[in-house]
C-alpha cells in the first residue's frame, strides 16, 4: 500500500443551524461547508439546483457576432462545414451543431479529424478539403483556439471561420511577460478569452456549442425549448471531458441525466441497453466509466464518425448494431491498454523513471491513442505527473496526466520551442515533437519542475469522521441531493477507526472484490466491500487486529432486500 496522508476537514460553522434552516442532517451540512459553499443563497442553489441557474449565451464574447454571421450564411444558402474532435466532447459538440444548424435551415455537414492521420483539431488538409467540397464557412467545435496558422490559411483561400472552443488560450512568455496569441477567425466564442464576460469559464466544448445553438435559435425565431433537447448531450460531454461539476456544469449534468433516463435518442438508448445500464439508475459514473469509453473507443481505434452516426441515427436496429460495434471496440481497447500498462511497468522499473519528478515513459510501439489512458493509470499508481510518449511515424506523440499543483499546460508552454504541436489543460495535455528532441524534452520538463516530495504523497481529505453506527438509510438517501459526483464535486469521504474484520472472502469472476463483515467497538456488525488491490488488503488484515477505514455508504438491493453496505476506498 502506498503512503498516504489523511486529513480531516476542519472548516467551522454552526452546522446545527444550517441543518435546521435547510432541512438536512448535520453531516450533510458539514459536507456543504467543506465545499466552501457558505452563503444561504449558495447553499440553497447547491442543494436544490434549478435550470434557471444556467447563464445566458449572450454573455459570451463574440456570441452575437457568430450568431449573426451564421444566420446570414443560412439565409444565403452557403455551405457550412463543422470540424470537431474525436473524443466524447468533440462528438457531442459536432452532433449539437449539426442538428442545430440544420434545424435553423442551414446547408451543413461535418468532418471529424482522424486521430492517426490528422491529429487533434483543424488543420490545412481539412481546410483544403472543405474548400474543395464547396464549403463557404467552417465552424469549429472543441478545437480551433490554438490553430493560428491553419485559420490564417483558411482566410487566405477565402473561407469564413467561426471558432467555438473551451481550451486555454495559447500564449508566448518572454521575460515573465505573457502575450496571448489571437487568430484571424471571423468570430471566436470561448469563455476563457480574457475579454469574455461569461461568469463561468469551466464549461466543455459541447456546452459552448449548445449555447451557440441557443443563441442561433433565438435569432431565427425557433422556440427556446427546442434547444433543450441537447441538454443530455452537453451533460454527457461535461462528464466525459472531466469538467468540474460546479456552477452550471452541475445543473447541466443533474438535469441532463434526468433527461437521459427517458432519452428519445435511439443511439443513446441502444448503448445503455448494450452495456446493461438501467435507465432509472443512470449516474455520472456510468457516463464517465461505462458508456463514455465506448464513445471514445471509436476515435481511438477506428473513426469517431461511428460514434457520431450512433447519435444521429433514427433507425433503432442500426442503433443496436452501432452500439454493439462500439462496445466491441472498447473491449479491444481495454486489452490493448492492459498490454501497454504491463510494458510501461517494465520500462519504469528498468529505467528507474519513478525517480523523476515528471515521469516520461517512452513506449514506441504503444497505439498512440492509448497514451493518455496509460498515463492516467501510471499517475494513479505513482502520484507523479506522467507523460506517455509513442512513435507516431512522423515523430513522437505524447499525452500527459497531472497531479494537483502541477499545471501541465503551463509547464509545456515553458518549452514550447521543442514542439511541432501541443495543447491542453492544467490536468491533461498532448504534444508532438521530433524524435531528436525527446531527450531534451525529458531533461527540460524535469529541470523546470518545482515539485517536492510532499507533492508526491496522495492526500485523502476526510469530510466527516463518522461512526458506522450513525449511518441510516435516510442519511444515505439524503446524500443523493449532493449528486452528481465527479471532478470538482467529489463523493463525500467518511472515516471510522478501531474497526475489526470479523469475516472476509474474495469474490468476483476475476477475484477482484473483497467482501467483509466489519465490527465496531460496540460489537455491532456491518457488511462492506472493497474493490482496490484485494490481495494487498488481505495481506494487511493478516497482520492487523484493528484498522481505520475511509468509506462511503450505499444501499445494496438484493433479492428484494435492502441493506446499508459500506464501500471501503482506503485503509490503514
User: What is the crossing angle of helices 371-382 and 316-351, to 10°?
Assistant: 50
What's the confidence (pLDDT) of residue 561?
A: 86
**Sequential DSSP letters for 385-437:** -EEEEEE-SSSEEEEEE--TT--HHHHHHTTGGG-SEEEE-SSEEEEEE-GGG
Q: Are the beta carbons of 162 and 139 closer than 8 angstroms?
A: yes
Q: What is the dihedral of CA 527, 532, 534, 538, to 10 degrees?
A: -70
| Residues 6 or more apart in contact with residue 346 via CB below 8 angstroms | none
Give SS3 for 167.
Answer: coil
For residue 59, the 8-state DSSP code is G
Please give the Cα distance from 61 to 239 (Å, whole number): 25
- Ordered per-residue pLDDT tens for the chain, 572 residues: 567 899 998 899 999 999 999 999 999 999 999 999 999 999 999 999 999 999 999 999 999 999 999 999 999 999 999 999 999 999 999 999 999 999 999 999 999 998 777 777 899 999 999 999 999 999 999 999 999 999 999 999 999 999 999 998 888 877 778 888 889 999 999 999 999 999 999 999 999 999 999 999 999 999 999 999 999 999 999 999 999 999 999 999 999 999 999 999 999 999 999 999 999 999 999 999 999 999 999 988 888 999 999 999 999 999 999 999 999 999 999 999 999 999 999 999 999 999 999 999 999 999 988 999 999 999 999 999 999 999 987 899 999 999 988 999 899 989 989 999 888 778 889 999 999 999 999 999 999 999 999 999 999 999 999 999 999 999 999 999 999 999 999 999 999 999 999 999 999 888 889 999 999 989 999 999 999 899 999 999 999 989 999 999 999 987 778 899 999 999 99
Given CA atoms 269, 272, 274, 280 in this order, what sign does their dihedral have?
A: negative
- Cell readout for 330 is 472498447
Q: Are the beta carbons of 205 and 142 closer than 8 angstroms?
A: yes
| Residues 6 or more apart in contact with residue 133 via CB below 8 angstroms | 79, 81
Q: Is 148 exposed, middle or buried (0-12, 13-18, 19+ CB in 10 A)?
A: middle
**Three-state SS across 215-268?**
HHHHHHCCCHHHHHHHHHHHHHHHHHCCCCCCHHHHHHHHHHHHHHCCCCCHHH
CA 149 → CA 181, 186, 189, 205, 434, distances in Å? 11, 14, 18, 21, 19
Residue 183 backbone dihedrals phi, psi, to 5 degrees: -105, 180
Please give the Cα distance from 365 to 196 (Å, whole number): 43
What's the confidence (pLDDT) of residue 118?
A: 78
Among left, alpha and beta (phi > 0; psi -120 to 50; other), residue 279 is: alpha
- Cell readout for 452 is 517536492
Please give the Cα distance from 446 to 360 (Å, whole number): 9
Please give the Cα distance from 338 to 179 (Å, whole number): 42
Tallying the residues shown for the chain, one arrives at 572
CA 488 to mean position of chain CA atoms? 11
Please give the Cα distance from 415 to 402 (Å, whole number): 17
Give SS3 for 273.
Answer: helix
Give SS3 for 462.
Answer: strand
Among left, alpha and beta (phi > 0; psi -120 to 50; other), residue 142 is: left
**H or E element, residue 330:** helix 316-351
Residue 489 backbone dihedrals phi, psi, to 5 degrees: -145, 70
Nearest to 67 by CA among 164, 148, 153: 164
CA 24 → CA 16, 29, 91, 488, distances in Å? 9, 7, 39, 22
Residue 192 backbone dihedrals phi, psi, to 5 degrees: -85, -5
Please give the Cα distance from 410 to 415 (Å, whole number): 9
Pairing outcome for strands 494-507 and 464-465: parallel
Please give the Cα distance from 184 to 194 (Å, whole number): 17
What's the confidence (pLDDT) of residue 2?
A: 60
- Cell readout for 326 is 462500439
Please give the Cα distance from 519 to 546 (Å, whole number): 10
**H or E element, residue 561:** strand 561-571
**Within 10 Å of residue 342's Cβ, how many Cβ atoms?**
9
**Sequential DSSP letters for 275-328:** TT--GGG--HHHIIIIIHHHHHHHHHHS-THHHHHHHH---HHHHHHHHHHHHH
Pairing outcome for strands 459-462 and 464-465: unpaired
Given CA atoms 144, 147, 148, 151 in this order, what sign does their dihedral have?
A: negative
Please give the Cα distance from 510 to 22 (Å, whole number): 45
**H or E element, residue 164:** strand 160-164
pTM: 0.91
Amino acid at each position: 500500500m502506498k503512503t498516504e496522508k489523511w486529513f480531516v476537514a476542519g472548516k467551522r460553522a454552526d452546522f446545527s443551524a444550517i441543518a435546521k434552516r435547510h432541512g438536512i442532517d448535520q453531516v450533510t451540512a458539514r459536507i456543504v461547508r467543506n465545499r466552501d459553499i457558505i452563503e444561504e443563497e449558495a447553499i440553497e442553489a447547491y442543494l436544490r439546483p434549478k435550470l434557471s441557474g444556467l447563464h445566458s449565451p449572450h454573455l459570451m464574447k463574440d456570441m452575437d457576432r457568430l450568431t449573426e454571421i451564421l444566420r446570414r450564411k443560412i439565409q444565403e444558402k452557403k455551405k457550412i462545414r463543422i470540424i470537431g474532435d474525436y473524443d466524447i466532447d468533440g462528438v457531442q459538440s459536432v452532433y449539437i451543431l449539426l442538428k442545430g444548424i440544420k434545424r435553423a435551415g442551414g446547408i451543413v455537414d461535418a468532418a471529424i479529424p482522424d486521430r492517426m492521420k490528422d491529429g487533434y483539431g483543424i488543420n490545412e488538409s481539412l481546410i483544403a478539403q472543405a474548400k474543395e467540397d464547396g464549403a463557404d464557412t467552417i465552424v469549429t467545435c472543441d478545437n480551433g483556439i490554438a490553430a493560428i496558422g491553419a485559420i490564417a490559411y483558411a482566410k487566405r483561400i477565402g473561407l469564413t471561420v467561426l471558432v467555438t472552443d473551451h481550451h486555454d488560450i495559447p500564449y508566448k512568455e518572454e521575460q515573465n511577460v505573457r502575450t496571448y496569441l489571437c487568430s484571424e477567425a471571423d468570430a471566436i466564442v470561448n469563455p476563457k478569452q480574457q475579454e469574455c464576460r461569461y461568469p463561468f469559464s469551466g464549461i466543455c466544448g459541447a456546452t459552448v456549442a449548445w449555447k451557440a445553438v441557443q443563441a442561433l435559435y433565438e435569432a431565427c425565431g425557433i422556440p427556446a425549448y427546442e434547444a433543450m433537447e441537447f441538454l443530455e448531450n452537453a451533460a454527457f460531454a461535461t462528464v466525459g471531458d472531466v469538467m468540474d461539476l460546479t456552477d452550471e456544469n452541475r445543473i447541466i449534468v443533474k438535469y441532463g441525466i434526468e433527461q437521459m433516463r427517458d432519452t428519445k435518442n435511439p443511439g443513446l438508448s441502444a448503448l445503455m441497453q448494450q452495456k446493461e445500464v438501467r435507465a432509472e439508475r443512470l449516474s455520472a459514473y456510468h457516463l464517465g466509466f461505462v458508456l463514455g469509453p465506448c464513445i471514445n473507443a471509436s476515435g481511438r481505434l477506428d473513426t469517431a464518425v461511428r460514434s457520431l452516426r450512433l447519435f444521429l441515427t433514427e433507425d433503432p436496429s442500426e442503433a443496436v448494431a452501432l452500439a454493439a460495434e462500439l462496445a466491441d471496440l472498447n473491449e479491444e481497447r481495454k486489452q490493448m491498454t492492459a498490454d501497454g500498462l504491463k510494458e510501461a511497468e517494465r520500462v519504469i522499473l528498468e529505467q528507474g523513471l519513478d525517480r523523476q519528478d515528471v515521469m516520461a515513459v517512452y513506449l514506441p510501439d504503444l497505439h498512440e491513442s492509448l497514451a493518455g489512458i496509460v498515463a492516467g493509470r501510471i499517475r494513479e499508481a505513482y502520484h507523479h505527473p506522467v507523460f506517455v510518449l509513442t512513435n507516431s511515424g512522423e515523430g513522437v506523440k505524447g499525452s500527459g496526466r497531472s497531479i494537483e499543483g502541477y499545471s501541465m499546460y503551463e509547464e509545456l508552454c515553458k518549452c514550447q520551442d521543442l514542439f511541432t504541436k501541443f495543447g491542453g489543460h492544467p490536468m491533461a495535455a498532448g504534444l508532438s515533437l521530433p524524435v531528436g528532441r525527446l531527450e531534451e524534452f525529458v531533461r527540460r520538463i524535469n529541470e523546470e519542475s518545482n515539485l517536492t516530495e510532499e507533492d508526491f504523497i496522495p492526500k485523502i481529505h476526510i469530510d466527516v469522521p463518522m461512526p458506522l453506527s450513525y449511518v441510516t438509510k435516510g442519511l444515505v438517501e439524503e446524500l443523493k441531493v449532493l449528486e452528481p459526483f465527479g471532478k470538482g464535486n467529489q463523493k463525500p469521504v467518511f472515516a471510522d477507526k478501531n474497526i475489526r474484520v470479523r469475516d472476509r472472502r474474495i469474490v468476483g469472476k476475476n477475484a477482484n472484490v473483497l467482501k467483509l463483515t466489519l465490527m465496531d467497538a460496540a460489537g455491532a456488525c456491518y457488511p462492506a466491500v472493497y474493490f482496490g488491490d484485494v490481495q494487498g488488503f488481505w495481506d494487511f488484515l493478516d497482520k492487523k487486529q484493528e484498522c481505520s477505514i475511509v468509506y462511503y455508504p450505499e444501499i445494496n438491493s438484493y433479492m428484494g432486500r435492502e441493506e446499508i453496505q459500506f464501500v471501503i476506498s482506503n485503509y490503514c
